[in-house]
């Protein structure tokens, strides 16, 4: 069964923005703090049969379905820092994928399900990394002194879009690069204090949506609205 992810930003922080990629699918994956901490939950699209998949005292956020729907990548601080974990679609067989110092967030699956892009502060500032789906062979793709985050794979797996505060920018800009980190291109061309964050590709790979808002908060945000680039 194929499933739908609703962004952590919209549901966890009640920003009022929810951009769904697969709006016709029967199940929703979302974070909820109804237990007093953030949990990853599963819900039928009609609002029935909600299930807590993580059941942990830690904060669990940023859920992302694998392309075949069999696995869920997510972020948890259950071992003291924000790391990326993997679990089966029913919440079983949880495995920690990242173990380096620093915080990790925003896992994004490659279309073939073989790799996961994410952002990490392990080198002193947030960079975009990629690793195999089992957590091995991690690689820094951005290698820049600026803040790089929110990776999103193009549908053909050849490009990754991301948000950045690089080069002395006074606000975020939206960039794309090859999946190996080469040929970085600035799409937005101008600084924007209100965003160019959380990019998402159209299914045909010809357009990018992104979020804008009233203020910049690197790890999360609020009051954001959706916009698009061709």
Q: What is the CATH number of the domain that holds 126?
A: 2.120.10.30
Interval 164-196: pLDDT, tens = 988 777 788 899 999 999 999 999 887 777 678
pTM: 0.81
Interval 12-59: pLDDT, tens = 332 222 223 333 447 788 888 887 888 888 887 777 767 889 988 889
Q: List the one residue out of 92, 90, 94, 52 whose CA is nearest residue 75.
A: 94
Burial grade of 72 (CB within 10 A; 0-12, 13-18, 19 or more):
buried
The yes-or-no verdict on residue 4 having pLDDT over 80 is no
How much is the pLDDT for 57?
85
Structure tokens at 5: 């992810």
How much is the pLDDT for 229?
55
Q: Rounded mean pLDDT of 133-148?
A: 94
Interval 82-103: pLDDT, tens = 999 999 999 999 999 999 889 9
- List, edge to edge, every strand of the sheet that includes 148-153: 148-153, 159-164, 173-178, 185-186
The conformation of residue 165, written as its DSSP 8-state character, comes to -
How much is the pLDDT for 227?
52
How much is the pLDDT for 140?
97
C-alpha pair distances (Å), 78 with each of 6, 35, 54, 56, 96: 22, 16, 11, 8, 10
* Domain of residue 115, residue span: 4-229
- Residue of 9 and 172 predicted with greater confidence: 172
How much is the pLDDT for 33?
84
- Residue of 171 and 202 predicted with greater confidence: 202
Q: How far apart are CA 63 and CA 118, in angstroms?
A: 12
- Residue of 175 and 222 predicted with greater confidence: 175
How much is the pLDDT for 18?
28
Number of domains comprising the chain? 1
**For residue 191, is it left (φ>0), alpha (ψ between -120 and 50) or beta?**
beta
Q: Rounded mean pLDDT of 110-134?
A: 96
- Residue of 66 and 35 predicted with greater confidence: 66
Task: List beta partners, residue 104.
Answer: 120
Q: How far apart are CA 128 and CA 168, in angstroms?
A: 18
């Amino acid at each position: 069964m194929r499933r739908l992810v609703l962004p952590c930003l919209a549901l966890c922080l009640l920003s009022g923005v929810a951009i769904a990629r697969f709006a016709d699918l029967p199940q929703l994956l979302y974070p909820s703090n109804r237990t007093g901490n953030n949990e990853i939950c599963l819900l039928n699209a009609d609002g029935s049969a909600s299930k807590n998949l993580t059941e942990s005292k830690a904060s669990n956020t940023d859920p992302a379905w694998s392309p075949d729907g069999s696995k869920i990548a997510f972020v948890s601080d259950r071992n003291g820092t924000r790391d990326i974990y993997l679990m089966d679609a029913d919440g079983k067989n949880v495995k920690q994928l990242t173990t380096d110092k620093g915080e990790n967030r925003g896992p994004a699956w490659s279309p073939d399900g073989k790799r996961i892009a994410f952002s990490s502060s392990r080198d002193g500032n947030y960079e975009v990394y990629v690793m195999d789906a089992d957590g091995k062979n991690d690689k820094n793709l951005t290698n820049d002194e600026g803040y790089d985050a929110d990776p999103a794979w193009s549908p053909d797996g050849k490009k990754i879009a991301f948000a950045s505060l690089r080069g002395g920018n006074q606000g975020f800009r939206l960039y794309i690069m090859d999946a190996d980190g080469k040929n970085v291109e600035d799409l937005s061309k101008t600084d924007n204090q209100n965003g160019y964050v959380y990019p998402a590709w159209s299914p045909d790979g010809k357009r990018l949506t992104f979020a804008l808002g009233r203020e910049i908060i690197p790890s999360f945000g609020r009051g954001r609205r959706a916009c698009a680039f061709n």
